[in-house]
């Protein structure tokens, strides 16, 4: 059973690619207004687990419960979900329609201003650098105002100022009650921003608990 305050609960989740075990025995719980970091070596299945949590793929065993509507969830990862033929503003207009947010152009331009792209509002997203595409992807997430947010190394390609913007927006999301699951490529830097840590290794979940009980040793 999902605890009454949980946004997300996994029970004994396992996954295979063909007959190859990726991980087994993942059980965890995400409360509102909290950040969970997912840790583990390359190839441990962190991105696969994140997609299972987000409902993008189904686990081979175990259960995933989400107490959030699909339109109240957002995913930000290596794939930016940017449409290259559309302008930056056109991308947000598309997602505004998909999520039924009903924002006007002034509000959408305000989102672009928050991520430093207002001056590029009418430029085709296909001309953007990786960092600019990531910032446009962040604007999409801000548009949704998700209750449940999944992040797969979101700071990849971002400069220092853009990273600071991202971290500020994550703190704002947590402050308004959102739950965040975050795969970080720099745990030493990002542990202090989290509440809990889930570690994968050896084709299993090796630990899950508060940040204060987590050690970087062995990673």
Whether 31 is covered by a domain: the verdict is yes
pLDDT above 90 as % of the chain? 80
Interstrand relation of 204-210 and 148-152 (parallel, antiparallel or unpaired): unpaired
The pLDDT, as a whole number, for residue 198 is 96
Tokens 């998909």 identify what position? 98
119-133 average pLDDT score = 95
What six digits make up the tokens of 204?
């299993």
Q: Is residue 47 part of a domain?
A: yes
Domain annotation covers residue 149: no
In a domain, 209, yes or no: yes
Query: Does a structural domain hold residue 175?
Result: no
pLDDT at 4: 52
Instruction: Give the model's pLDDT for residue 178.
Output: 97
The pLDDT of residue 3 is above 80: no
Least confident of 6-20, 52-66, 75-89: 75-89
Give domain status of residue 94, yes or no: no
The stretch 102-120 carries a mean pLDDT of 96
Average pLDDT in the 98-104 region?
Answer: 94
Alpha helices in the chain (DSSP H): 46-54, 88-98, 105-114, 130-144, 160-175, 187-190
Domain span at residue 1 reads 1-68+181-219
Question: For the chain, how many structural domains are there in total?
Answer: 1
Q: What is the pLDDT of residue 1?
A: 37
- pLDDT at 57 (0 to 100): 95
| DSSP per-residue string spanning 1-42 | ---TT-SEEEEEEEEEETTEEEEEEEEEEE-TTEEEEEE--T
Domain-embedded: residue 64: yes
Domain presence at residue 205: yes
Token output for 206: 């090796």
CATH number at residue 186: 3.40.50.300
What would the mean pLDDT of 10-18 be, rounded to a whole number?
96
The rounded mean pLDDT for the chain is 92
pLDDT tens sequence across 153-190: 887 777 888 888 889 999 999 999 999 999 988 888 89
37-41, 54-58, 209-213, 214-218, range with the lowest pLDDT = 214-218
């Amino acid at each position: 059973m999902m605890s009454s305050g949980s946004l997300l609960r996994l029970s004994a989740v396992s996954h295979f690619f063909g007959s190859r075990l990726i991980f087994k025995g993942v059980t965890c719980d995400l409360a509102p207004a909290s950040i969970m970091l997912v840790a583990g070596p390359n190839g441990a299945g962190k991105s696969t687990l994140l997609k299972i949590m987000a409902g993008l793929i189904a686990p081979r065993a175990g259960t995933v419960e989400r107490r959030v509507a699909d339109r109240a969830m957002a995913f930000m990862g290596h794939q930016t979900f940017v449409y290259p033929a559309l302008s930056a503003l056109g991308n947000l207009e598309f997602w505004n329609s998909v999520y039924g947010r009903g924002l006007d152009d002034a509000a959408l331009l305000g989102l672009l201003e928050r991520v430093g792209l207002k001056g590029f509002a009418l430029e085709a997203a296909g001309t953007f650098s990786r960092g600019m595409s990531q910032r446009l992807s962040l604007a999409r997430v801000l548009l949704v105002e998700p209750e449940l947010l999944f992040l797969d190394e979101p700071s990849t390609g971002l400069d220092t100022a853009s990273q600071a913007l991202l971290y500020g927006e994550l703190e704002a999301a947590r402050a308004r009650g959102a739950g965040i699951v975050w795969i970080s490529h720099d745990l030493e830097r990002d542990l202090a921003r989290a509440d809990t840590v889930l570690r994968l290794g050896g084709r299993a979940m090796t630990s899950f608990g508060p940040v204060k009980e987590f050690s970087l040793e062995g990673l």
